[in-house]
Amino acid sequence: MARPLRVEFEGAYYHVMNRGRRHENIFTHDKEYRAFLKTLKEACQMFRVHIHAYCLMRNHYHLLVHTPAGNLSRFMRHVNGVYTQKYNLINKTDGALFRGRYKALVIQDGEYLLRVMRYIHRNPLRAGIVKNCQHFRWSSHINYLRQKDEDWLLVAPLLELFDIGRVGRIKRYMEFMEGESDFEIEKFYALKRKEAIVGDGDYVDWVKEKYIHGKCYDSEIDGRRVVRGFKIVRTIINEACAYFRIEENELKKWRRGEEDPAASAAIFLARKLSGLTLKELMEEFGQKSYKTVASRYYRFKARCESNAGFKRILEDLESRCSHAET
């Protein structure tokens, strides 16, 4: 059977789902749920992706994802891969965790986002786990009730679709959540073979014509990603040289066994902000192996988590780069 088509374009919204292999649990303890959310947060920052809703069930998850840069596949590859590593480390196991490729449905902006968000948040109700969504800990429903955005989780854009004042939005949201079931959406998700696009007829036709039949999304998006990524890396290298008062050739002259915070901080930020692969960064930093770049990235990340001085360097450099980009 042919694998489902992946449709990627800038600004797209997706309902992403994946479950454990053989329907096995992918979350069993609180630390695993937290590890997944931390992975999600890090990936959002690295790939400039936003989450608008999520629900983590024991053997599967649901995400409502927005990709301004059109990079869903790279984002999800990172999320599933890194979480699998963390799960295996926590449980002292190895091997695959998920049953295979994630499912991703393109969602039309506006009303359909709200309907899919409600479908996601009501998962624990349909499963009979709770009688009220407020009693389920591992979803973004509580963020909507509090109107609380995170740097990776944005609830305001969907709440604003109710088109009333801030105070009234919570009441409207509660009414929307507690209203009658959306039989059209429920019927759609019950189908074994689903359309890859959720929206009205005009929107479905537009996506098919522009991004499926025309197949313009593949090379165009990747080309723009690479160009944008290298521009960001160039900014980071320039700002790192200015911050550490060194020349670029010194930044790229790595000495084995030395701490070298200038190169390490630049690599960490480049990986986090540019969306480039390790191999692409390897070439930009003048190295012969992507493993060297990966080693620098993970070593500096660990340093920042345990050393306030390194964390301050990273914050200062990231601030300089953000101002330089604008």
What DSSP line would sit under 97-109, residue for residue? Answer: -BSSSPEEEEE-S
Stretch (H or E) spanning 290: helix 290-306
Low-confidence ranges of the chain (pLDDT < 70): 1-5, 213-226, 254-259, 323-326
At residue 129, the pLDDT reads: 94
pTM for this model (two decimals): 0.70
At residue 115, the pLDDT reads: 94
β-pairing, 103-107 vs 60-67, is unpaired
At residue 300, the pLDDT reads: 85
In the CATH hierarchy, which fold is given to the domain comprising 12-215?
A: Alpha-Beta Plaits (3.30.70)
Cα distances (angstroms) measured from residue 196 to each of 60, 110, 188: 19, 18, 11
Question: 7, 12, 73: which is closest to 275 by C-alpha?
Answer: 73
Structure token pair of residue 144:
């909507």
Instruction: For domain 222-325, give its CATH number from 1.10.3720.10, 1.10.1750.10, 2.30.30.30, 3.40.50.920.
Output: 1.10.1750.10
Per-residue model confidence as pLDDT tens digits over 88-108: 999 999 889 998 889 999 999
- Domain spans in the chain, listed from the N-terminal domain onward: 12-215, 222-325
At residue 217, the pLDDT reads: 46
Per-residue model confidence as pLDDT tens digits over 171-230: 999 999 988 878 889 888 888 777 789 998 888 888 888 887 655 544 555 556 667 778
CA distance 8 to 212: 10
Cα distances (angstroms) measured from residue 128 to each of 33, 123, 144, 205, 295: 20, 9, 21, 37, 45
